[in-house]
């Protein structure tokens, strides 16, 4: 009776995937309801009081801002009403890092929120979902997990939401944090931490999210050798609020992009330089003079996470100094 209370918010993904064959061929993500997934790990009843809620049933390539809002609002409600001691989110792996970072930025509670998923569908040989789900629950109820912000628990690794990235398209050790490595390990029902998040996990959050919050439109443009800047001009014509450039190296781009970025900035679009390189930071005023160009930098956030932060920060301010500060804070 005194067991910790965990609510699982399920969104679909391969962990809930089903197919006709024993491998991945032709499976569909998000088919199996959360109560059935909980049924695959009966021994979890000895360590926690578990209940599941189906928030969505999608492959995470179809994750939407609306589902993010639904998840976050329900998580904040659960903690505000003291309905649970911790939350586990089951989620596809393709965009898991974006959802994890989004939740990290909008859930002010210091209670644990742990995401997990799987690489093999539930119907495959050696499906990794049940073990990942069990581990995520052990992470969520561990006393040392409190105050660490949102985490991803996967293949026995524990990763900070801000740092984690999907590194493999098909392998079961799909996640890592290229800049920092894992913060801990879950194994044999045990949880050990090696380190903490590099950023303060609970600074005042960039925004207070409500059902009415409308997130501005921010898109990502990829840079490559001899790229034309048509995509940038097209997106500016679509009246985007922000653009993240997945630049080369230290957030660099060619002359065509440089001219198009100038046009975008003149049109009032906030342009953030990030990098397609998986690790390292994009620093101000290196080969590109951000003051002259009117750009900001992502620091060490990947383009997909820089987009999440820019969307949230833009709801609060359009001031470039403040937006840049957000990238150095969160």
Ligand X SMILES: NC(=O)C[C@H](N)C(=O)O
Q: Which residues contact 72 (CB under 8 A, 6 or more apart)?
A: 102, 103, 106, 107, 209
Q: Which one of 14, 90, 295, 302 is the catalytic residue?
A: 14
- Give, in degrees to the nearest 5, the angle at Cα 160 between 325 and 127: 145
| CB closer to ligand X out of 76 and 93 | 93
- Residue 131: CB minimum distance to ligand X, A: 14
* Size of interface with ligand X, in residues (CB under 6 A): 11
Strands 150-154 and 157-160: antiparallel
CB of 94 to ligand X, least distance (A): 3
**Minimal distance in Å, beta carbon 12 to ligand X?**
6
Question: From residue 105, how far is each of 71, 281, 311, 327 by CA, in Å?
Answer: 13, 20, 11, 12
**Using CB under 6 A, which of 7, 10, 29, 124 touches ligand X?**
29
Task: Tell me how far apart the alpha carbons of residues 271 and 108 are, in angstroms, rounded to a whole number.
Answer: 28
Chain position whose Cβ is nearest to ligand X: 92
**116-175 binders of ligand X (CB under 6 A):** 117, 119
Among 6, 10, 13, 153, binds ligand X (CB under 6 A): 13
DSSP annotation string for 114-179: EEE--SS-TTSTT-SHHHHHHHHHHHHH-GGGTTS-EEEEETTEEEETTT-EE--SS-SS-EE-TT
Q: At 54, give phi and psi (nearest 5°).
A: -90, 105
Q: What is the DSSP letter of 21?
A: S
Handedness of CA 72, 76, 78, 84 (dihedral sign): positive
Q: Which is nearer to ligand X, 129 or 149 (CB)?
A: 129
CB of 24 to ligand X, least distance (A): 9
- Residue 112 sits in the site that holds ligand X (CB under 6 A): no
How far separated are the first and last CA of the chain, in Å rounded? Answer: 38
Task: Calculate Rg over the CA atoms of the chain.
Answer: 20
Task: Give the contact letters, 36-65, x = binds to ligand X (CB under 6 A), - = no.
Answer: -----------------------xxx----
52 vs 117, beta carbon nearer ligand X? 117
Does residue 64 carry a catalytic annotation?
no
Q: Are 110 and 85 in contact (CB under 8 A)?
A: no
Nearest approach in angstroms of CB 30 to ligand X is: 7
Could you say which residues in the range 78-97 bind ligand X, by CB under 6 A?
92-94
CB of 166 to ligand X, least distance (A): 9
Q: Which of 6, 7, 9, 14 binds ligand X (CB under 6 A)?
A: 14
Q: Which is nearer to ligand X, 94 or 176 (CB)?
A: 94
Which amino acids are annotated catalytic?
14
Binding site for ligand X (CB under 6 A): 13-14, 29, 59-61, 92-94, 117, 119
């Amino acid at each position: 009776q005194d067991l910790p209370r965990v609510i699982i918010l399920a969104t679909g993904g391969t962990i809930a995937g089903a197919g006709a064959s024993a491998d991945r061929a032709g499976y569909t993500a998000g088919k199996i309801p959360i109560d059935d997934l909980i049924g695959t790990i009966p021994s979890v009843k000895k360590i926690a009081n578990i209940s599941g809620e189906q928030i969505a049933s999608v492959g995470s390539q179809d994750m939407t801002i609306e589902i993010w809002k639904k998840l976050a609002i329900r998580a904040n409600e659960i903690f505000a009403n003291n309905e649970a001691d911790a939350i586990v989110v089951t989620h596809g792996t393709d965009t898991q890092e974006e959802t994890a970072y989004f939740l990290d930025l909008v859930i002010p509670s210091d209670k644990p929120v742990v995401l997990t998923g799987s690489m093999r569908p539930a119907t495959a040989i050696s499906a990794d979902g049940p073990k990942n789900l069990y581990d995520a629950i052990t992470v969520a109820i561990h006393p040392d997990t409190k105050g660490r912000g949102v985490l991803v628990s996967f293949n026995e690794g524990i990763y900070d939401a801000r740092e984690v990235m999907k590194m493999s398209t098909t392998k079961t050790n799909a996640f890592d944090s290229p800049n920092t490595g894992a913060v801990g390990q879950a194994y044999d029902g045990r949880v050990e931490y090696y380190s903490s998040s590099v950023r303060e996990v609970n600074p005042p959050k960039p925004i207070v999210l409500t059902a009415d919050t409308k997130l501005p439109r921010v898109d990502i443009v990829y840079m490559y050798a001899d790229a034309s800047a048509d995509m940038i001009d097209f997106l500016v014509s679509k009246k985007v609020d922000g653009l993240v450039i997945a630049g080369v190296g230290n957030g660099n781009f060619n002359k065509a992009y440089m001219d198009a970025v100038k046009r975008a900035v003149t049109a009032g679009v906030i342009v953030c330089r990030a990098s397609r390189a998986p690790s390292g930071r994009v620093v101000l005023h290196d080969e590109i003079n951000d003051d002259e160009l009117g750009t900001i930098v992502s620091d060490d956030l990947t383009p997909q996470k820089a987009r999440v932060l820019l969307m949230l920060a833009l709801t609060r301010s359009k001031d470039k100094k403040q937006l840049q500060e957000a990238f150095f804070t969160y």
